[in-house]
A and B are shown apart, each in its own frame.
Chain A
């Protein structure tokens, strides 16, 4: 007989189980391996000496990190999901569904009604690792995070597409002062949603469900979220005691069936000879070849210093700048002539308010009677909260702060790159003003803080971690797509023997590549400028600076206070604004008031409109309140301003149409349901009229919302498709819930030929999404789901095809002539509808001209009207004083814009034309709305940028998805505004 040893080496932990002759579990352990796999394994084996010595063993290794180890040692390997299935089969044979979460991968097994096994897609990686990262962000341990989550009162909607997106939603919550308990629960909710959406793919998760794996074993809060979301009864939600060992147990089961037996000594030796596994990671040349190179580098950069004031003896006025970023808080105090009196830089530890309070007190102590605090300004993610909490004089957008600082530091600066914790901001400076701004989109966000949390996870201080990178012999290549991808590459590299320094250097290089190739999209310094200033906390890392210079092949300037430039700029801004206004007193709280400051946060849901924004009410001393998380002024008790807004106008037309449909409903008629998704935001007026003319009721699915999305999310087969398409599942569900027996949603390769493009295609998703719905939404089989191929381009043909189709459906009793008439009437209605929108838009343009308003063209697709898709970005622009119009309004106002790509999609061609119009009008700017995952916009974005920038406009792209929080979007919008204003005043 023999003992069975199952070794499960996951991305973060090792699990080992030993099963004796009688099949009993005699040993188990669960340990974090911190990528030192061989070391940990021999440690564990050492502990097993007594138990295993002189025993004959059968061994199997499983887990993503065990693959190369098993291969090299000739130990049987079993794929983890396969192993899992083996264990479940023995231990819980009556389970219907198994969900297993690991550090990196999520798996699902459907055991009844057709066996299916699935792992998460590339984008959704890093479950356990994500929880770890979020805990670091909140400055708590994972155990504390779990304990906190159990006390939650509210769950915020958090994007669940991937870790990066979720973080983008969580970061502002922290900065707005949301309760940690609520954030913790929301994090778990996001994990649960991501798992289910990514893995269910149309299968029903019901019956007896087994939850396994470390994160689910250790976190009660996560269990609760799953049980709630899947609406499980306690009998059906099973969390076994051995939950985290199932995969290892499966390996033991598998081992039983293998041929090879090991003695304890043999196994030990095999595992110990694993030092030189050749992996699949790629390595890069070192950052510095020798100490000399580094010394020269340091010498060159040490010359870039901001002058210091003699704090001990200075008398006069002082100006305070505060920069509360995503992960750190920075303060700078400057003298009248801009010399530094005091600086501060520290982590937010998940709540910046106490830090700022402490610092204000510190500054007041420092000032004494000698120095007078004249004014202060605050910038960064925490701007509004801090400004309101302490009555700081000014608030300003980060881009302006960074520009002010860089310009003061080096008046010749013509390009600034700032890499902070969450964002990258780059701007061109011409004639002493910001000329163009590039900001990262969601996928590239969080790079800076990623390095930091990685360092901390490995037990290093950021500075120490950076230092290790400098002379690392073989930095690993971690790719540049996003931090989720980087994270899994790090894991792989560590298994392949990369040291901490190699990882640190690799991270620095990846972040830089991400900035240069994905955000800046340049490949030489000449495209940027002569005097390139780099700043932001991330550039304090010498490895980042070095890889940046090396990648560009150009020497850049890093001020010694790179991490403080935002705060420094804010201080200078306060000084300039105050002087210009001739003020000498600050509104900042006095020392006593600061000392007495306390704060409380309460979550609320705004009832101002259908959006139901999740907001946080912050209550300060004397009952002062500050509300954050709102998207318009309505949440603040104010009224939304009435600047023209084509988005709002068009949306209201759709709302009115829906009301009309409801009013006209006649039970005697046949009813056709139409989902208001994708191109239906363009074509609904057509189909509505078409069916009304044919004497049918039309039921429209209605407006999207987060809960509508949730209703359909289980049937989404591809988690990387765009959000507008994913919403279609919810709309179909809504229609089914309304009891509609016929749903009509046609396919078409072709869109209407508007004569503005070379071809008139639809994008593949718009063209054929009904095909996907037909297959994946099984409930559609019980009703008539009609998705014929009909192009509105040729009404006669459309009528003919529809008539052919109708003949197969007895309730559609139409003649061909009726169909032709209906199609013609529908066409007229469609054109009239959009002519009306255009007319409104043009009058909006006139209004703007007459009153000197700024105009922003939100250029996207028709479906970007949807509030769940655009997250009310249009209203936000309104509140900043912009008239908002759509690309549709302008497309007929300019000649066809020539492009250097194939202009073959109808919707996209409109944007090119609109850009052409925008170029001629000084009060206008274009902002492109891009849905995450829209591959076609990879083509259009470059073209639009080229058209706009060569004609002196600023190209702004807002990548939107589930991410609900507008904080990052607002920075972009305000930067745009600031640049427009600066441009105006300099002309």
Chain B
């Protein structure tokens, strides 16, 4: 039996509309229309049932919590390590996947429509690859993906995963959607993010962001190779403990501790070009997606600058306020969101101040700085994907002396047409000296071509640092002169 839904069996036209149309002499046509809409279609729905197909994806129930492993695709290695501890202590046996290599892409290609964006392909590929690896009892695992809201197709990842599971005869595996807003009505009963967990998650982002920010300022210059990575590891472990014993709440003290740890790393006195990485969130952070761009840049003599995930969180919260302004009125929920927003921005501000007052490292910008940078260039109404935030980050980085920008984006990413490639012109107009390139990532894209473009960026960046050496002409020829040898 077909289900009856809201409004569907009613004529979509109001009396006024119809009267207006009658005035226009369309009576006869509309008669047909109404008869068909109200009558026949409804009759057909009742008399001619169609074959429906619903993917039955089991709910992750409270009973599963004790003995199920929850698999999550990797994106932000430092942050996720902290999250792992937080979730484990709440009784969730969570595991962030480390499987990489070509079989991940291969599984992605096999199971996700190939025109879907690369992050979906990789995240789902990584999950399916893990599920099929034989490492897990498929009756005792659940899969978790974040679900963003919004008009970008990223909001559909969770559904694509369910489809992929069905295709592989694995629909019995529960899928958990982790969402920022409460758009979906899926009741993931067993997986509840309590206020306590939410708070810790936010704090994990505070510390994760700071480590991410600082490690890229020491790693390219470290005297002892691997020193920075070691410090990151120690810090992550210490912070993990702090979440266990409650000391994580000592925000300022922890920030200082992180800062001091990085200050102890011995650094070479060198000037390297700073290269900011912006982009679609997965491509920006996940080494699996961007071919380990941060380390590639370090190996090639540059300093990567990667801003934290807090900006994205704040941007998502901020979008509700922008929506309220543009399309609707404020709701009580917005006020709660506002409180969360304030909390996060506070944490970000303290981080900036700690780093800034110390003066050793370049301080990170806060969300407000990014917001200000974007102004006059792109409207805050652009809220799909990374939206205006991406443009803002490019501008803010450049204004803070990071003159080279790589926008890492999935091939064919829809929002990035607008906010990345579409805005480079505006960025260049404001800062003609800046180097901005967009790199497309895709399972089929040739890596040489990607690296060649990054090399161009670096060549120009290095030239800018070294300044124009006094010019000496090397060639003593004119380009119109006879060529000594012709094509063989």
Q: Please give the residue numbers on chain A whose beta carbons come within 8 Å of chain B beta carbons, in ascending order.
A: 4, 19, 22-32, 64-65, 67, 78-82, 87, 90-92, 104-105, 114-117, 119, 121-123, 125, 201-202, 218, 240-243, 245-246, 249, 252-253, 256-257, 280, 282, 477, 479-482, 485-486, 488-489, 491-492, 495, 513, 517-518, 521, 523, 717-718, 720-721, 725, 747-750, 754-756, 759, 761-765, 767-769, 771-772, 775-776, 789, 791, 793-794, 797, 801, 828, 831-832, 835-836, 838-840, 842-843, 846, 892-896, 898, 900-902, 904-905, 916-917, 919-920, 933, 935-939, 941-942, 946-947, 950-951
4 other A-B residue contacts (CB within 8 Å) besides A492-B448, A768-B419:
A27-B484, A280-B448, A492-B446, A846-B32
Complex A-B, nearest 10 residue pairs according to Cβ-Cβ distance, in ascending order: A23-B476, A479-B444, A481-B444, A761-B151, A839-B29, A240-B479, A772-B422, A938-B115, A82-B459, A718-B421
Q: In the complex, which of the residues B30, B37, B459, B480 has the most CB atoms of chain A within 10 Å of its own CB atom?
A: B459
Tell me if A768 and B475 are in contact (CB < 8 A): no
Tell me if A765 and B418 are in contact (CB < 8 A): yes
Q: Complex: how many Å from CA A218 to CA B487? A: 10
22 sample A-B contacts, Cβ–Cβ < 8 Å, listed by A number = A31-B488, A81-B459, A87-B475, A242-B480, A280-B448, A485-B444, A717-B417, A749-B323, A759-B151, A764-B414, A764-B418, A767-B151, A769-B418, A776-B425, A832-B21, A893-B40, A898-B54, A935-B115, A935-B414, A939-B153, A939-B160, A946-B53
Tell me if A489 and B413 are in contact (CB < 8 A): no
Q: Is B269 an interface residue, CB under 8 A from the partner?
A: no
Q: Is B254 an interface residue, CB under 8 A from the partner?
A: no
| Known contacts A718-B421, A842-B32, A904-B155, A749 near B383 by CB under 8 Å | yes
| Known contacts A114-B428, A119-B452, A725-B417, A801 near B326 by CB under 8 Å | yes
Tell me if B17 and A835 are in contact (CB < 8 A): yes
Residue in contact with A114 in the complex, picked from B12, B327, B378, B432, CB distance below 8 Å: B432
Chain A residues near B438 (CB-CB < 8 A): 121
Q: In the complex, which of the residues A245, A756, A775 has the most CB atoms of chain B within 10 Å of its own CB atom?
A: A775
Q: Complex: how many Å from CA A486 to CA B44? A: 49
Tell me if A481 and B114 are in contact (CB < 8 A): yes
| Known contacts A67-B451, A831-B17, A789 near B381 by CB under 8 Å | yes
Chain B residues near A750 (CB-CB < 8 A): 327
B48 (CB) vs chain A CBs: closest residue? A920
Tell me if B428 and A771 are in contact (CB < 8 A): no
| Interchain nearest-CB distance for B280 vs A (Å) | 12
Q: Complex: how many Å from CA A674 to CA B476? A: 56
Q: Please give the residue numbers on chain B whose beta carbons come within 8 Å of chain A beta carbons, in ascending order.
A: 2-9, 11-13, 16-17, 20-21, 24, 26, 29-30, 32-33, 36-37, 40-41, 44-45, 48, 50-55, 102, 109-111, 113-117, 150-153, 155-156, 159-160, 162-163, 167, 183-184, 323, 326-328, 377-379, 381-385, 411-419, 421-426, 428-429, 432, 438, 440, 442-449, 451-453, 455-456, 458-460, 463, 469, 472-488
B379 (CB) vs chain A CBs: closest residue? A771
Tell me if B426 and A117 are in contact (CB < 8 A): no
Tell me if A485 and B425 are in contact (CB < 8 A): no
Number of A-B contacts (CB under 8 A): 355
Tell me if A832 and B422 are in contact (CB < 8 A): no
Tell me if A22 and B476 are in contact (CB < 8 A): yes
A797 (CB) vs chain B CBs: closest residue? B327
Q: Complex: how many Å from CA A946 to CA B167? A: 13
Tell me if A67 and B452 are in contact (CB < 8 A): yes
Q: Complex: how many Å from CA A764 to CA B410? A: 15
Tell me if B379 and A747 are in contact (CB < 8 A): yes
Chain A residues near B156 (CB-CB < 8 A): 901-902, 939
Chain B residues near A104 (CB-CB < 8 A): 449
Tell me if B6 and A755 are in contact (CB < 8 A): yes
Q: Complex: how many Å from CA A115 to CA B54? A: 56
| Interchain nearest-CB distance for A945 vs B (Å) | 10
| Interchain nearest-CB distance for A75 vs B (Å) | 15
Chain A residues near B2 (CB-CB < 8 A): 895
Q: Complex: how many Å from CA A282 to CA B163? A: 29
Tell me if B452 and A904 are in contact (CB < 8 A): no
Tell me if B153 and A938 are in contact (CB < 8 A): yes
Tell me if A761 and B452 are in contact (CB < 8 A): no
Q: Complex: how many Å from CA A797 to CA B324? A: 11
Tell me if A29 and B485 are in contact (CB < 8 A): yes
B21 (CB) vs chain A CBs: closest residue? A832
Tell me if A82 and B428 are in contact (CB < 8 A): no
Tell me if B475 and A838 are in contact (CB < 8 A): no
Q: Complex: how many Å from CA A23 to CA B473? A: 8
| Interchain nearest-CB distance for A880 vs B (Å) | 26
| Interchain nearest-CB distance for A738 vs B (Å) | 24
